[in-house]
Amino acid sequence: MPAFGAKYGLNDKTAADLTSNIVSTLQAGCFFGSLASYWAADRFGRRPSLLVAAAITILGVIIQTASDGHTSALYVGRLVAGFGVGAASMLTPLYVSENAPRAIRGGLTGLYQLFIATGVMLSFWVNYVSYTFQLHRALLHQPSSLCQALMHTYGHFVRLQDQTDQYLGISTQH
């Protein structure tokens, strides 16, 4: 994007190098994050490890956002975010498969992969539209607003889960 190139002082050759290095740095972080998360999951448990992975990812995103034209800070942010993403990529299917009932375990793991592929597709189209049409920034905030609205709706359904289980006669005690 032109604004990114101007901020980091890029030309055609350095833009290609920077793009490939940015992607490679995240992938390296993912690799090492997934390896380290095995030990953390066994030592501290699946859920606390997932929460730490989310915090690490948020920290990496904050570093990337604050890089403001400094390539080294962008690389560090991508690496830190990669640690969190790699850990979450290993821990999430493990956590879901251990907590889901046997009858729906495979389906939930398949849905996890479907949602990842859907997120990749949506990120591609958002990037394509924003690059091609140079939309106003207010339009680019609409997908995040939709995500926030869906999170609040999902939280409401989670609160109703106990009542639904009671209504259906499902025992929640083991």
Would you state the pLDDT for residue 7?
Answer: 73
Instruction: Work out the burial of residue 120: count CB atoms within 10 Å of its CB; fewer than 13 is exposed, 13-18 middle, 19 or more buried.
Output: exposed
User: Per mean pLDDT, which range of 36-45, 53-62, 82-91, 144-153 is the poorest?
Assistant: 144-153
Would you state the pLDDT for residue 76?
Answer: 95
Q: How far apart are CA 41 and CA 69, in angstroms?
A: 36
**In this predicted model, what pLDDT tens digit does every residue of 19-77 receive, in sequence order?**
888 889 999 999 999 999 999 999 999 999 999 999 999 999 999 989 887 888 989 99
CATH fold label, 1-99: Growth Hormone; Chain: A; (1.20.1250)
pLDDT for 148 beyond 90: no
Given a contact cutoff of 8 angstroms between Cβ atoms, the answer to whether 36 and 85 are in contact is no
Would you state the pLDDT for residue 78?
Answer: 93
DSSP state of 74: H
pLDDT for 98 beyond 90: no
pLDDT bucket at 134, cuts 50 / 70 / 90: low
Neighbours of 73 (CB within 10 A): 15
Sign of the alpha-carbon dihedral angle for 113, 119, 122, 127: negative
pLDDT for 160 beyond 60: no
Would you state the pLDDT for residue 173?
Answer: 58
Mean pLDDT of 148-152: 70
pLDDT for 16 beyond 90: no
Q: How far apart are CA 151 and CA 22, in angstroms?
A: 29
pLDDT for 165 beyond 80: no
